[in-house]
Chain A
Amino acid sequence: MSRFLKKSLWVFHLNTGSCNACDIEILDVLTPFHDAERFGVKLVTSPRHADVILLTGPITLEALPKVVNAIEAAPRPRVVIALGSCGVGGGIWHDTYSTIGGIKGLQKILEEKGVKVDAFYYVPGCPIRPEAILYAVAMFKGLVSKKVKSEIKHAE
């Protein structure tokens, strides 16, 4: 179990310029069919109440100062979860002029501004299936183990 996420997760959903597909899947997770609330997940309306910032979208330049403010407003220990291909790696907007290309650019900017984040989590998918979000939540709770690992294959 992650040492930051021992109790119920209060989640602030932060859209940073995504296409709304991931946002709809987040709402889907909270419906009775998938019901993320059985793991204690609850959406809150202010980052000041949140343990987790749920970040979707490739982080546009317009949204960047607000994103930094929202993350700064969350009390520590704070955790940022990047959802979807855009959040994790920038998606198909990874090298466009108006975005910073996912969470990697944000990590640098947060370091420059002195905003500390205790843990980053990554959930790729385009859009993420509701089951994938549930799997991520269960992984943070320590109920299931992570399945992906980096591989180096040598072609013979």
Chain B
Amino acid sequence: MSEKLKPAKLLVIATKSGRVTKKYPYEEPLVSPDFRGLIEIDENKCIGCGACVNACPPNALQMISDKETTVLRYFIGRCIFCWRCVDVCPVGAITGTRKFELATDDASDLYVHVVHKKPKCETCEGQGGTQKMLYYVVEKSPVTEEYLNECPDCRKKSFIESVAKRRTGGVSE
């Protein structure tokens, strides 16, 4: 074929294939069912155990402890959408969605906070864990209320004391 006829050949190919460009913002995107997008945290199910925080490779999920609250912070801007948190969550609070349209002009839009209350220790007035995690533990394995109302440090202390009492025959030093 000569040089002059090449555009004509192109026209034939173009008419055969038709329009290939997607109208995307005005039509549904091509998202396969396997696609992994944004995760959603159900605040009613979440117990604040921190399993997802341990599993998260880029630390997009972080626990921030305050005096009265424990906050689970999800930073979408750092998330790599691996869904390891979905696999690892013991109560199924985290579900994966197919959302991917996350463009924004404000960095603070990319944060999701889940605020948990901390239980108060009866003996030392310190805190440890979250309120909902305690209920979860009690449901799974019954423990006495003495242990339940204490912070982890006091729990260790009282356990050691009880062992010492047993050894010394009930006579504390």
Contacts and interface: CB of A to CB of B under 8 A. Distances in A.
A92 B80 contact: yes
B112 A131 contact: no
A119 B107 CA distance: 11
Interface residues of A, number: 46
Contact of A32 (B21, B103, B107, B113): B21
Interface string B106-132: 011111111111000000000000101
Interface string A72-94: 00000000000001001111101
A92 B78 CA distance: 7
Contacts of B132: 155
Contacts of A34: 21-22, 24
B110 A148 contact: yes
A132 B80 contact: no
B147 interface: no
B21 A150 contact: no
B105 A124 contact: no
A136 B103 CA distance: 5
B101 interface: yes
A33 B20 contact: yes
Say what secondary structure dominates the interface of chain B: loop
Interface of B: 20-22, 24-25, 29-30, 41, 43-44, 46-48, 57-60, 75-81, 99-105, 107-117, 130, 132
Given A122-B77, A129-B100, A135-B24, 19 more contacts: A32-B20, A33-B22, A89-B77, A89-B78, A92-B80, A94-B78, A121-B104, A121-B105, A125-B102, A146-B104, A146-B109, A147-B99, A148-B104, A150-B109, A150-B113, A152-B115, A153-B43, A153-B112, A155-B116
Interface of A: 2, 32-35, 38, 85, 88-92, 94-95, 102, 104, 119-126, 128-129, 131-132, 134-136, 138-139, 143-144, 146-156
30 contacts: A85-B58, A85-B77, A85-B78, A89-B110, A90-B78, A92-B57, A92-B80, A94-B78, A95-B59, A104-B107, A121-B104, A121-B105, A123-B102, A125-B100, A129-B29, A135-B101, A136-B103, A144-B25, A146-B103, A147-B102, A148-B102, A148-B104, A150-B111, A151-B111, A153-B41, A153-B115, A154-B115, A155-B114, A155-B116, A155-B117
